[in-house]
Structure 1
Amino acid sequence: MTAPASPRVPAVPGVLDAAQVVQTAESIAAMQEQDGGIPWPDGHVDAWNHVECLMALTVAGLTEPARKGYEWLVRHQREDGSWPMKLVRGEAVEHGGESNHAAYVAVGVWHELLVTGDEDFARAMWPVVTRALDFVVDLQTPRGEIVWERTASGRPADYALLTGCSSIHQGLRCGAALAERLGDPRPDWELAADRLGHVIATHPEAFADKSRFSMDWYYPVLGGAVRGAEGMARLERDWDVFVVPGLGVRCVSDQPWVTGAESCELVLALDALGDRTRALRVFADMQHLRHEDGSYWTGWQFANRAHFPHERSAYTAAAVILAADALANATPAAGIFRDIPTRALPTTSCGCEPAGHQPARLS
């Protein structure tokens, strides 16, 4: 087996040094459970946030806990390619399967390969990725959006979510890149990503209205479906709604609450657009959430001047590390959000169903 490479740990001058980044990664590893799962503060594990944490561990060179986390994914994947929505101590407590949870596994495995160069590990994980992305593609509607879950009874959800679909777009692109690297091309994933990216960019009516959440604002950029001038215009449009100077990014537009993960994801979106100046500013602004042990508070309620919720979360620490890597260009996977390949589809006479159309129910 190819020995994993040791990454260059990122450092962001004047904000975080490499030792602080490693300390943050160690705070994530300290939260990892015996079976390899990395839980939310309330004790549940979901595949998306779990993978985000594994990517951060890999960036910091903590290969052993990262690989233990991938073993967790292998053990808990179901026959249909999905993971239970929530698991507590290895047992499913919410049984539906989310499409964006499944898709993000492809991002994690591609990221691991880029950082370590360990193709043997990627090949070992390939069956997990193929089952996961086939589960995702099976939830795509005739128009192109991908509904957010398949219930425990097997019924597809009635609607799609913009944030989730934007993340799925990245997952499909990373899966296609991994397929090419491993010599097993999957053009069906590329086509699904093309269709999904087009709907994200041009058909807002395809998605449930969650516009009060900042993620619906920046995720189309972060996931690679909207870039260039359109991406910059999108961020400019609601910048003053969601960005609180000196503190970070609101979770929702109508509450005085900034959150670390959303702040760092905006950093990644800005980096993907080449806006390094504002990316560095937002990254520096959210450091007030850093705890002395290297972990990060989930958020800050700035009207009450209190941490809210009163918890430190592994997924927030993970977002910090991934943002630091993008800003520092430290590892070979530093551009995993920046370098998402896209193929433009026509924006007129595209054949998509018009606004207000309800897509046929999936079987």
Structure 2
Amino acid sequence: MGLTAAGHHEEAYAAYDWLARTQNADGSWYAEYHDGTVADSARDLNFTAYIAVGAHHFALSTKDRRIAGRWWPAVEGALDFVTGHQRDGGEFPWRIGAKRAALLAGNCSIAHALANGLALADELGHAKPDWRRARERVLGAITGAPEAFEPKPHAMDWYYPVLCGARDRLADRWDEFVVPDLGVRCEHTQPWVTGGETAELALVLAARGDRRRARALLRTLDRLRHDDGSYWTGYQFENDDLWPLERTTWTAGAVLLASAAADGDPATVAVFGAGERHSRVSPAAL
């Protein structure tokens, strides 16, 4: 999605085609691949669901109607697989075989993916009432059954419910996670701000029209930017250290998406906009 937002459509197209080729027969993907070889055979549900967001984003970005149809079988297989593992309370386990409480951020991610999958289904004329019911049920769990989710101190559990349309307030815990002029703490208990969380919060803000605060957050990432344009994962501000010494593609991707939204990119704003807007994107937009 970062490649798409940056205009590298051929590279992004190749990545989605790779996903379509390597999808398991049941609609899932494995958790990790190294050079085409499976390195971790676990199947994570939110990882699998998220192709719906990427495919929708690419179709909106390129204004190419053919894309929605080309990757529809992969999107349909993925979301059918995921919705088949929804628990009785509406929540989803984080991976197949997991017995413990569900993860809140992962469930918000699935709700977001279902909304974008429904937008693609509407464009292509496919009725997917089971996806709509699954989205309504998981949103109900997110808003009404906090006991279903494992308590965690992470920022994602604060802003992901806003991202997927389950909540509409960020003010309640803003001071707990946002460190002025430094960025967003990964965990509210640790003196560590991270590029991924800072960019994701900026993305949420920009998609909801608050570009001023989004841009302010993005400016804090300058301290994490490497000379080659990549970003360090985080900054431990009590020790004044970059930590860990790694520069990840997911941090870079989040920065690219947040920057696109802050600049008003229509596709990125539409995909990450609030709530039910995801499943009501006009077919004319594709």
TM over 0.5: yes
- Residue 100 (structure 1) aligned with residue 26 (structure 2): no
Counterpart of 2:238 in structure 1 is 303
| Contact 1:329 1:335 survives alignment (8 Å) | no
**Equivalent in 63, 75, 83 of residue 9 of structure 2:** 63
1:332 match: secondary structure: helix
Please tell me whether the aligned partners of residues 202 and 215 of structure 2 are also in contact (alpha carbons under 8 angstroms). yes
Match 2:164 to one of 223, 246, 254? 223
Q: Is the 2:230–2:252 Cα contact (8 Å) retained in structure 1?
A: yes
2:120 aligns with one of 178, 188, 206: 178
Q: CA contact under 8 A between 1:248 and 1:286: conserved in structure 2?
A: yes
After TM superposition, give the deviation of residue 135 of structure 1 in Å: 1.0
In structure 2, C-alpha distance between the alignment counterparts of 1:306 and 1:101, rounded to whole Å:
31
Tell me which residue corresponds to 2:211: 276
In 2, distance between residues paired with 1:158 and 1:306?
35
Shift in alpha-carbon separation, 1:271–1:333, aligned structure 2, 3 A: closer
SS of structure 1 residue aligned to 2:220:
helix
Letter paired with 2:106: G
SS in 2 for 1:255: coil
SS state at 2:102 partner: coil
Q: Deviations over 1:98-130 (max 9, x none)?
A: 110011100000001111122222211111001
Q: Which residue identity is paired with 1:88?
A: H
The partner residue of 1:117 within 56, 63, 80 is 63
Query: Partner of 1:238: helix, strand, or coil?
Result: helix
| Structure 2 residue 73 is the aligned partner of structure 1 residue 127 | yes
Q: 1:339 to 1:148 in 2, by over 3 A?
A: same
Structure 2 residue aligned with 1:188: 130
Describe the SS at the equivalent of 2:122: helix
Instruction: Give the number of the structure whose alpha-carbon radius of gyration is greater.
Output: 1
1:152-171 paired onto structure 2 within 5 Å: 155=97, 157-171=99-113
Q: 1:62-92 deviations in whole A, cap 9, x for unaligned?
A: 1111111112212221111111111122222
Task: Name the one with the larger helix percent.
Answer: 2
- The alignment yields a C-alpha RMSD, in angstroms, of 1.7
Q: Does 1:144 align with 2:90?
A: yes
- SS of residue matched to 2:228: coil
Over the matched positions of the two proteins, sequence identity in percent amounts to 46
List alignment gaps of at least 5 residues for structure 1: 1-54, 344-363
Report if aligned partners of 1:251, 1:259 keep a CA contact under 8 Å in 2.
yes
Whether 2:274 is the aligned partner of 1:333: answer: no
Deviations along 1:235-256, one digit per CA (max 9) or x if unpaired, are 2222222111111011112221
Q: Which secondary structure does the structure 1 equivalent of 2:184 belong to?
A: strand
